[in-house]
Structure 1
Amino acid sequence: MKRKIFGCLVAAVLLVSNSAAPDYDIVIRGGRVLDGAGNPWVKADVALKDGRVVRIGTVPGRGKTEIDATGRYVSPGFIDMMDQSGRVLLANGAAENKLRMGVTTVIAGEGGTPVEAAKIPDYFRQLETQGISVNFGTYYSSTQARVTVMGDGAGAPTPAQLDAMGTEVMTAMRNGAFGITSALIYSPSSFQSTSDLVTLAKVAARCDGFYATHMRDESEGLVKAIEEAVEIGEKGGVKVEIFHLKAAYAPGWGKLMPQAIATINAARARGVDIAADLYPYTAGGTGLEIIAPTWVWADGVQKGIERLRDPKLRERMKREVAAGSMPGWSNLVHASGGWANVRLANGFSDKYRQYHGQSLEQIGKALNRHPADAAWDILLEGLPNRSVALYFMMSEQDIETALRQPWVSIGSDAAASQELGAVDALGLPHPRAYGTFPRVIAEYVKRRPILSLEDAVRKMTGWPAQRMGLTDRGLIRDGMRGDIVIFDYDRIDDGATWDKPTALPTGIDTVIVNGVVTIDKGRHTGARAGSVLRHECKA
C-alpha cells in the first residue's frame, strides 16, 4: 500500500514538473557561439526571454521553443550599415530578402527620410503600428533640408536660408535621426559646398550625430573627396561614415584604394572619428542620369529633362562625356573604362526591356545610336521611374584591401524587396540586395583567406553596433537584445549573381529578431518583431 502511494506521489510530481511553464522563450542548444566581438567561437547554449539574451553556457532549464544548433554557428544578427528601405517598409514591413541574408537591423537614409523632418515621429509610429520584421534606423539628408528651403536648383544659400536648413536638421535630429547624409555625386546634393555641409554638421554634432556621405567623387578624385569628408568631420565636430567605400576608377585600380586607406588612417590617428562601409561587388548600380554632366541639372529636374531632349545640347554633353570627368561631376562611363562596362539593368519600359543586361555599347550598336543617346533615350522613356544601370568600376583586389581594414563594416546599398524574389524597391537588379552578407563569409572567408570567420562576423555585428551607438545589440552577451542568426558554415553561400540577381542565399535557416523567430527553416514566420531605432538627442 505504501509502495503504491509513493508511486502515485512520484507520478504527480513528474506531472507537475512537466506541465510547469517553460523557463525561457527560446533556448538554442549546442551551437558554436560567435559573440560578435571577434572572439573565437565557444560551444554553448543560448537562452532568450522577453526579447533578450539571459543566459549563455549550459542552460539546464527548457525553452518554449527549443532549437538544435549542433554543428552550426550562432551569431548576432547582421547589421546593414547602408540600407535603402525607408520607403518600402511602409508598403511591406517583411523585408524578407534582408532577413534571408541574416540581417536583423538596417540603417537607412542616404537619400534621407520619406517624410519631412517635422513628420518623422509620425513616420516612425506608422512603421511601428503596421509592424516591421527588422530593426530600422535612419539618417536625415542634408539635401532634404536644402530642397525644403531653396528648391532643387544650383546656387549658394543665403545666411537666412542656411539657418533655415539648420532648423530642419535639428528637427530631424530631435526626432530620432542618427545624423545627416549627403550624396554629393548627384544633383541637387552636388550643389552643396563644403562650407554649407560643415555648418549643417555642426547642428548634427549638438546631438552627437553623424555626417554620412556618398562622397563627391569615388573615382579619380577619391582622395580629395575623402579629404573633404574629413574636413567636414573635423570642422563640424561629427563622426564621419563613408558610404560604400570604393576605388571606382579602372585606371587607378591598385593605387587609389591604398591612398584612400592611408588618408583615413591618418585622420583617425589625429582623432577624427571616421570609418566606412562597403558592399563586396565590382559593380555599382545607379541611375542613367549620372551620365549627364552636372550643369544639365543646375536649374532643377524638369529643366534637366528638357535639356536632355535638345539635340544640340546632347552634342555638347557627348563631347563632355568623351572628355572625362570635370569639376563637380564624376563621369562614371569614364570611370568604368567605357560604354562596354556599363550595363542596362532596368529601363522601366517595354520598349527597351529586351536590352536589359546588355552594355550601352551593345545597345547603341543594336539601335544604330551613340551609346549616350541610347542611355538618355532610355532614361526619358522610363520616366517618371529612374532607369538604372550597373557600372563595372571596381577591382577585386581593391575590395580585398578595403575589407582588411578593421574599421570597415558592411552595407548593401540595397532596399528590401516588396515581394520575395522580385528586385528591390529601387528597381535595381543588383545581387547585393540578396547576397551581400552571406557573400562576405562565402567569398572572403571560405573561398579566399581574406578574413577570419570571427572578424567577418565582427564587421557585420559588434563593430557596426558600436559604431552606431546601439549599445544593446551586435553581441551575444547577457542582457543584449535577442537578434540572432544561425548559419551552416559548410552551406552558406550567396546565390545571387549578375545574371540571377534575386536568387536566394543558402545556409541561413534561422533568424531571430528581438527574441522572436522570424525565419524558421528558411521561411518567414510572419513575425513583425522589429523595432524603430531612435537616436537620442539631448540638445
Structure 2
Amino acid sequence: MLDILIRGGWVIDGTGNPRRRLDVGIRGKCIACMERNITEEARHVINADGLIVSPGFIDAHSHSDVTIESNPFCESTIRQGITTEIVGNCGDSTAPFPPVGNGTAGGFGRFDNGPVPYGRTLGEHMCELEHMGISGNLAWLVGHNSLRTLAGVKGPEVTEQQYKIMENALRQAFEDGAIGLSSGLEFEPGRTSCPEELMRLAGVVKEYDAIYTSHIRNRDAHVLEALEEFLAVIRHHRIRGEVSHMNIRYNTHAPEDAVRRCMEKISQARDEGFEVLTDMTPLNYGIGQMAGILPEWLTSLPGQQMKDALMDPEIRTRLKHDCDRYWRFIAGGEWERVRMQNNNAFPDINGMTFPEISHLWNKEPWDCYFDILAAVAPDIDSVVLVSRLFTDEHLVETISNPLYMLVVDGYSTSVEGEVARHTQFPLHYIGMDWFLTHHVRQNHILSLEEAVRKMTSMPASHFNLKGRGLLYEGAVADVIVFDYEHMDTPFDLRQPAQYARGVTHVIVNGLQVLRDGEHLHTTPGINIRQNAK
C-alpha cells in the first residue's frame, strides 16, 4: 500500500522537459511509482486534476538560519512550495559561534532577542534543530564572517593561530555535515579580508569536495575585478563555485553591459571545466545590511566607542562623506529608495521609508540613520534595510540567462509573532512564487518547465543534494502540488505579511506538511548532511 497517491496531475519533473499527465505514488520517504492510472491503494489520495505536480522548490540562497529557531514550521516558505533551503549565505551563519569573550555575535540570530549561543558548533546546532523539529529541510554553508568572529579576526592581518582556528572550525563543520563555505565581502568583518585568506580557507573546501559561494566584494564600479577574485579561488583549487546574486544595482557607477561582461567571464570558466553558476532574486527590491556603507575605521571601534562616535556631530559629518560604498545611492541622497526592514531598537519604524522616518522624527535622514545605528551599537550588523535595487530590464536579463538559478535571498517567516515584526517585506512571503506569477505567467520570460528546473534540479545538482530536485522512482519524496493558473502573490509594502496562495499540498521527506493550503505543523524536515561522521 502507498502512503500517498497524487492522482491526475500535470507532472513537471524538474528536468525542463514538457509536463506529462501522471499519477505519483509515495511510500515511506521516497517516490515509489510514477505512471498513468496507478491502481495500488493508498492511505491518502490527493486529487491533482488540473494542478501542477513538481519537485519541492529549493531556495539556494536563504538566510532562514536566522529565523528557524523562532519559526520552526517554516510558515512562509512551506506555503511557497519551498521544501529545502540552503542557509548560511553571504558569509554569515548562525553556527559555529565563538566562546564567551571572543568576538561579538554580530547580526546572527538576533530576530528573537534570545541569548547568544556562544560556543555552539554547527553539529550541536543541527542536533538542537532536529530535537525541536522543523518542517523544511536545511543544507548548511559555513559563513566566513562567522569564522573570522570565532577566531577574533577584525582586520586584514591574520595570525597563524587565527588561521588554525578558522581552518579547524571549518573542518569540524564539514565533519558535521556542512555543504560549503560562504563569504560576504561587502560587509564587515569579511570586507577587510585579503584574497590570500580566502584562498587558504578554500583549500579546506577542496579537502571535502564542497562548494564555495560568495557575495563578492563589489557589484558596481569594480564588479569585474571582484568577480575575477572569486574565479581565481575556483580555478586555483578546482572547486565548485556559486556567485551569490550576480546582479547590478542601478545608479551605482557600474560599467556598461556589466552583466553581459560578468557572464562572459563565468562562461569562460565553465568552458575551462569549472562548475560555476550564479543566481538571481525575484523582485526589483532587495535586502541589505544597514552598516554596509560604513567605513572600516568606524566599524572596527569597540562597543561604547562606536556608539559615542555615531552620536558625535563632527564624526557624522565625516561619515556623510565616507559612505560611498555598497548601496552607493544612499551617499547620493536617494533616500526614497531605502526602507527599514528590521531593527530591535525602534521596531515601530520597521517597514517605513527614510523620508517617512525623517518626517516622524523631525530629523534629517542622515541623523535618523546614525541614531538607529547608535542605538544598536555595537550590534550594527543586525539592522536590515530594504531598497529598490534593480530595473525591470535587469531582471529579465538575469532571470532568462541559463546560468542563473532562481532564489529568494530572504527569511522564512510568519504572519504572526515576533518574527513577523522583523520581516516587514513581501519578499519573505511570496518571493519564490513571484517568479511563477510575474516572470512566467504574466511576462513570459521563461516557460513554466524551465522556471521549475531553475528552482529544483539545477540547485540540487550544483549543491550536490542527492536524490532531490527531480521526480523519479526512488527519489526523495519532496513533492508539491500547486494551482498555477490561480496562484496569487500579494505584493503590498504597507501590508507585507501576506502568504502566497496557490500551493495546495507540500510533502517533505514523504510526510505531508501542507494539505489543501493548510499547514499541518508536522516536522519532517532534516539537516541535509554531506561528509558527516
Structure 1 337/375 Cα, relative in aligned 2: closer, same or farther at 3 Å? closer
Q: Within the alignment, does 1:259 sit opposite 2:261 as a pair?
A: yes
Aligned residue type for 1:143: N
Q: Name the stretch that deviates more: 425-434 or 208-217.
A: 425-434
Classify the secondary structure of the residue corresponding to 2:267: helix
Structure 1 506/336 Cα, relative in aligned 2: closer, same or farther at 3 Å? farther
Residue 446 of structure 1: CA displacement?
0.6
Q: Within the alignment, does 1:150 sit opposite 2:128 as a pair?
A: no
Query: How far apart in 2 are the matches of 1:331 and 1:87?
Result: 22
Aligned residue type for 1:45: D
Residue 81 of structure 1: CA displacement?
0.8
Classify the secondary structure of the residue corresponding to 1:519: strand
TM normalised by structure 1 equals: 0.88
Structure 1 89/122 Cα, relative in aligned 2: closer, same or farther at 3 Å? same
1:8 is aligned to none
Query: How far apart in 2 are the matches of 1:132 and 1:85?
Result: 12
**Residues 219, 254 of structure 2: 8 Å contact kept:** no
| Aligned partner of 2:311 among 309, 312, 319 | 309
Q: Name the stretch that deviates more: 370-379 or 442-451.
A: 370-379
* Equivalences for residues 273-288 of structure 1 within 5 A: 273-288=275-290
Query: How far apart in 1 are the matches of 2:31 and 2:284?
Result: 38
Classify the secondary structure of the residue corresponding to 1:506: coil
Q: Name the stretch that deviates more: 460-469 or 373-382.
A: 373-382
* Equivalences for residues 166-245 of structure 1 within 5 A: 166-245=167-246
Structure 1 346/511 Cα, relative in aligned 2: closer, same or farther at 3 Å? same
Classify the secondary structure of the residue corresponding to 2:15: coil
Classify the secondary structure of the residue corresponding to 2:50: coil
| Aligned partner of 2:82 among 86, 103, 109 | 103
1:70 is aligned to 49
Aligned residue type for 1:105: T
| Aligned partner of 1:497 among 492, 495, 507 | 492
**Residues 280, 440 of structure 1: 8 Å contact kept:** yes
Query: How far apart in 2 are the matches of 1:64 and 1:46?
Result: 14
1:82 is aligned to 61
Query: How far apart in 2 are the matches of 1:423 and 1:225?
Result: 37
Write out per-residue CA displacement over residues 206-244 of structure 1, whole angstroms, 9 at most, x where no aligned residue: 001111111111223222221111112112332111222
Query: How far apart in 2 are the matches of 1:104 and 1:527?
Result: 13
Structure 1 423/443 Cα, relative in aligned 2: closer, same or farther at 3 Å? farther
**Residues 465, 474 of structure 1: 8 Å contact kept:** yes
2:524 is aligned to 529
Query: How far apart in 2 are the matches of 1:443 and 1:511?
Result: 22
* Equivalences for residues 235-384 of structure 1 within 5 A: 235-250=236-251, 252=254, 255-300=257-302, 303-321=305-323, 324-325=324-325, 330-334=326-330, 338-350=334-346, 353=348, 355-364=349-358, 367-382=361-376
- Structure 2 stretches lacking a partner, 5+ long: 98-118
Query: How far apart in 2 are the matches of 1:349 and 1:90?
Result: 21
Query: How far apart in 2 are the matches of 1:221 and 1:527?
Result: 47
1:7 is aligned to none
Write out per-residue CA displacement over residues 385-414 of structure 1, whole angstroms, 9 at most, x where no aligned residue: 833321222112111111112222122222
Residue 423 of structure 1: CA displacement?
7.7
Q: CA RMSD in A?
A: 2.3
Q: Name the stretch that deviates more: 380-389 or 40-49.
A: 380-389
Write out per-residue CA displacement over residues 187-221 of structure 1, whole angstroms, 9 at most, x where no aligned residue: 11112111100100011110011111111112232
TM normalised by structure 2 equals: 0.89
Write out per-residue CA displacement over residues 444-487 of structure 1, whole angstroms, 9 at most, x where no aligned residue: 11110110000000011111111111121111100001111101
Q: Name the stretch that deviates more: 450-459 or 168-177.
A: 168-177
Residue correspondences, number: 506
Q: Within the alignment, does 1:48 sit opposite 2:26 as a pair?
A: yes
Q: Within the alignment, does 1:488 sit opposite 2:488 as a pair?
A: no
**Residues 248, 336 of structure 1: 8 Å contact kept:** no
Query: How far apart in 2 are the matches of 1:122 and 1:159?
Result: 27
Decide which structure has the larger Cα Rg and report it.
1
2:389 is aligned to 393
Query: How far apart in 2 are the matches of 1:114 and 1:282?
Result: 31
Structure 1 238/425 Cα, relative in aligned 2: closer, same or farther at 3 Å? farther
Structure 1 118/388 Cα, relative in aligned 2: closer, same or farther at 3 Å? closer
| Aligned partner of 2:459 among 464, 470, 475 | 464
* Equivalences for residues 127-142 of structure 1 within 5 A: 127-142=129-144
Query: How far apart in 1 are the matches of 2:417 and 2:216?
Result: 29
Residue 148 of structure 1: CA displacement?
1.7
Q: Flag as ranges the 4+ runs of structure 1 deviating above 6 A.
A: none
Classify the secondary structure of the residue corresponding to 1:490: helix
Structure 1 510/158 Cα, relative in aligned 2: closer, same or farther at 3 Å? same
> What is the percent sequence identity of the aligned residues?
27
**Residues 55, 471 of structure 2: 8 Å contact kept:** yes
**Residues 342, 390 of structure 1: 8 Å contact kept:** yes
Aligned residue type for 1:27: L
Query: How far apart in 2 are the matches of 1:162 and 1:349?
Result: 35
Q: Name the stretch that deviates more: 335-344 or 55-64.
A: 335-344
Query: How far apart in 1 are the matches of 2:526 and 2:3?
Result: 19
2:507 is aligned to 512
